[in-house]
Amino acid sequence: MLRASATARILIAGQAPGIRVHRSGMPFTDASGDRLRAWMDTPADVFYDESRIAIIPMGFCFPGWDAKGGDLPPRVECRLAWHDRVFSALPAIRLILLVGAHARDYHFNRLGLPRGKNETLTATVAAWRAHAEASPRVFPLPHPSWRNNGWLKANPWFENELLPRMRREVRDTLLP
């Protein structure tokens, strides 16, 4: 599920593939991917061009289901064994899109970005302006799953304020 190149300038840091994506062998080949590409205003051929956009989940394989039938969190072994080495090999990254809490926690730590103790994902996403000026620029996002439709309706500022700025950053970062 890892797609990366030393030339990539955008990093999409995700959680872990769901079962459908795990079987496809390609990240975000589901409705969540459709929504994420729409959020970025990026066509599939650009989205999957690993020389431009790196896609690296916190877990490289489907982690299984919990007792309620939901996906388990990403397995810690991937992060411990690979992530620090992988991210040190991506020198051109200028923009990071953090998809979900697991990616947020790891990358905020790695980059030394401040956040409150036990801060919710909603609070982190709501504070997006503070991180959009960092280097690299960072946009924490909720997961683009249908499960977050309620969250999106309850937080219209996400689509009205964050997404237009993020789309502009994506477009500007992809320019030669």
Strand blocks (E) in the chain: 10-14, 53-57, 95-99, 137-141
What is the pLDDT at residue 168?
98
Q: Which two tokens stand for residue 13?
A: 């840091």
pTM: 0.92
What residues form DSSP beta bridges with 57?
14
What is the pLDDT at residue 19?
67
Quick one: which of 90, 127, 109, 88 has its CA closest to 10? 90
**Which backbone phi and psi does 42 adopt, to 5 degrees?**
-125, 125
Quick one: which of 168, 113, 101 has its CA closest to 138? 113
In three-state secondary structure terms, 53 is strand
| CA–centroid distance for 91 within its chain | 18
What residues form DSSP beta bridges with 10?
53, 95
What pLDDT tens digit does each residue of the chain (176 aa) get?
689 999 999 999 998 777 676 677 788 988 999 999 999 999 999 999 999 999 998 888 787 888 988 887 888 888 888 889 999 999 999 999 999 888 999 999 999 998 877 889 899 999 999 999 889 999 999 999 998 999 999 999 999 999 999 999 999 999 97
Quick one: which of 48, 41, 43 has its CA closest to 21? 48
Q: What is the DSSP letter of 72?
A: P
Cβ-count burial of 102 within 10 angstroms (0-12 exposed, 13-18 middle, 19+ buried)? buried
Q: Which two tokens stand for residue 12?
A: 């999409």
Distance CA 149, CA 42 (A): 21
Could you give the domains of the chain?
10-174 (3.40.470.10)
**Contact of 140 with 128, CB cutoff 8 Å:** yes
